[in-house]
Structure 1
């Protein structure tokens, strides 16, 4: 391992999934009771948009509001009410990343999902995945991607990125399947020494049972991943359906609809079948590192 920043982070999911579960249940109960968003908003004394945000899990909700909603929906089952209130409590808790200060809402949401995921399948077109980046490699990327931000803000992002990596080494372990384009092995992010250090780190991490790294070679020509990087986050079946995440200059996009997930999964399957095996990929990465010595 090549990181030197001190990080002390528990492998915890944070409030994101709890909010999603509560929102989904409140949506189901409202529809079963045939109550409109407008009627709920009137009961709570808020806007309809807030009700939509509560049901989509975008925002937390107070215990008092949950009680009002459950009562309005005619929920008198003690166990159901207790479950909803427990999810409300979890949804109001601060995620482990809160100790780093205020983070952009989309980024906080992704960290929450990542922390709750049991497995992630991702493809990276131009860089090493964040969960596998060394400190100096990540710093070099932030210095270019976030050049308009203050140095202190970039340092905070670096600390968060390194802290996120605990999910690969702390129980319960996250299973990570990642495919990286071969160009990543040659793009000298931070210079030759930084890239070599990063490649050796990839070789080391690829030996772990919960991490699978494949390289998509130049010889494959055009491929679906040329559209950009993507991550597919998977959760226990009773928690949430898979979610695909796409980051771009236009903002963060989360895909959940069945047709969207089918399209993303098909593309990833194609990339997986076109990539080198884990063993051959490890050898290719090691060879690239040796050439930088």
Structure 2
């Protein structure tokens, strides 16, 4: 029956439930053998609207959902479920978060809003310390290297945004995060030895939180299944929401929400975690790297 293509960031912000709804409508259309033009005709709209609906980038009205389901000859229970999904998605979109202010870079709004709704995150990181674990000093050093001289004033805005994100690690319902970090990220002297010692010490402190699990994949582990690049798998408590896989590269932001793709990435994460040091041994390893910076 096929699956909706991975959603690429840009334009209007979509939601987890919205993309779930759009993906279901996409699969119904493909199964019914209908073209986007036929769907747009049923809505008295343009094909562009159908594209936006199937990507989850716009909220959907009940009449539109009903019209498409009639075109696709979906049964009554499917129609009921999709209309309920549309209703919950519209309610979710009404909620405004701190990330909606002008200080948050547009590229990050979609991920931050999704992370805020998540129950847990599994993250594989190769070259840098995961964002939720970064100290302000580490982030500033990384920002200086990344931004041009004309953009340096933005660094403190980035730091402020990151600290707000990190608040999710604490509180009554903290975000659960299981991160696997390649040894390279621990040894890259971002900002110099003093900054890195502070960063590595912070990592060790974070492991004392019950909702944080950190593992290190050492160089000596050799070849591993995740050499292709970092990724995050976000899971949600909301009924009807599938796991979301997020990849951010220098040139694009990609989301995968097909259940089969999510299962593939979950299997990759499990394999790289299985090849890594245990959480206890990882803390000892991080501490040894930190002490080595004194030599």
What is the TM-score with the length of structure 2 in the denominator? 0.79
After superposition, the Cα gap between the structure-2 partners of 1:207 and 1:102, relative to the gap in structure 1 and judged at 3 Å, is closer
Structure 2 unpaired stretches of 5+: 1-12, 71-75
Q: Matches of 2:16 and 2:239 in 1, distance apart?
A: 11
2:6 aligned partner: none
2:292 aligned partner: 291
Q: CA deviation at 1:197?
A: 0.6
1:3 aligned partner: none
Q: How does 1:1-293 map to 2 (within 5 A)?
A: 16-23=15-22, 37-38=36-37, 41-42=40-41, 46-57=45-56, 59-61=57-59, 66-70=61-65, 72=67, 84-101=86-103, 103-105=105-107, 107-147=108-148, 150-236=151-237, 238-293=239-294
Q: CA deviation at 1:18?
A: 4.0
- Cα distance per residue 1:213-248 (max 9 Å; x no partner): 111112112222322211111223724221222222
After superposition, the Cα gap between the structure-2 partners of 1:100 and 1:201, relative to the gap in structure 1 and judged at 3 Å, is farther
Q: Do 2:182 and 2:216's aligned partners in 1 also have CA atoms closer than 8 Å?
A: yes
Cα RMSD of the aligned pairs, angstroms, is: 3.2
- Cα distance per residue 1:59-99 (max 9 Å; x no partner): 233xxx61441563579x99986763453242244333012
Q: Matches of 2:148 and 2:87 in 1, distance apart?
A: 43
- Cα distance per residue 1:29-50 (max 9 Å; x no partner): 8899998643553566642122
After superposition, the Cα gap between the structure-2 partners of 1:38 and 1:153, relative to the gap in structure 1 and judged at 3 Å, is farther
Q: Matches of 2:91 and 2:29 in 1, distance apart?
A: 20
Q: Matches of 1:241 and 1:82 in 2, distance apart?
A: 16
Q: CA deviation at 1:282?
A: 0.7
Q: Do 2:104 and 2:161's aligned partners in 1 also have CA atoms closer than 8 Å?
A: no
Structure 1 unpaired stretches of 5+: 1-13
Q: CA deviation at 1:133?
A: 0.4
Count, aligned residues: 275
Q: Matches of 2:271 and 2:23 in 1, distance apart?
A: 32
Q: CA deviation at 1:191?
A: 1.0
